[in-house]
Copies of this chain bind each other. A is one copy, B any other.
């Protein structure tokens, strides 16, 4: 369901797009909340077209298909956003790793936490940079979400590395 909703949302936001374009969109902005590869996206789009949530608006060279949301698709998306109680479950391998890192000794965990903090700083800066050049409101809000999340992990990794270091120095 989530993949279907994500695709509907991206199509509403960007207007008509191909499976390839939607795959790219996932890699960039939407990647902070959902993830999908082309091998999952192409069949899903076919299925969505089959039950009327999207339609082919153009067929180009080399089998290229441009899809757009139908009225039924818009209704489905709106209903989901307004009425559906989302699952509060998360799967994030990078965060799982951070979560478990304090199980290692200070000599190993502190440098790894600092490295992660630096990575999150870089990502936050990149997103901030992107935000300042975005014309579109919705895209800006979306990039800001990523920004807040990066800053949160950066702050946590730094705070935790500091705490582990202090503890190790005191012991």
Separation in Å of the A10 CB from the closest CB of chain B? Answer: 9
Q: Chain B residues near A100 (CB, 8 Å)?
A: 5-6, 9, 13, 77, 81
7 tightest A-B contacts by CB?
A152-B152, A35-B89, A9-B100, A33-B95, A148-B152, A148-B156, A86-B93
Pairwise interchain contact B102-A137, C-beta atoms closer than 8 A:
yes
How many chain A residues touch the partner (CB < 8 A)?
57
Residues of chain A in range 98-115 having any CB-CB distance to chain B below 8 Å: 98-104, 108, 112
Contact pattern, A 14-26, Cβ under 8 Å of B = 1, otherwise 0: 0000000000000
Residues of chain A in range 38-73 having any CB-CB distance to chain B below 8 Å: none
Q: Is A134 an interface residue (CB 8 A)?
A: no
| Distance in angstroms between the alpha carbons of A164 and B99 in the assembled complex | 34
Q: Contacts A82-B104, A103-B81: A35 and B144 contacting too (C-beta < 8 A)? A: no
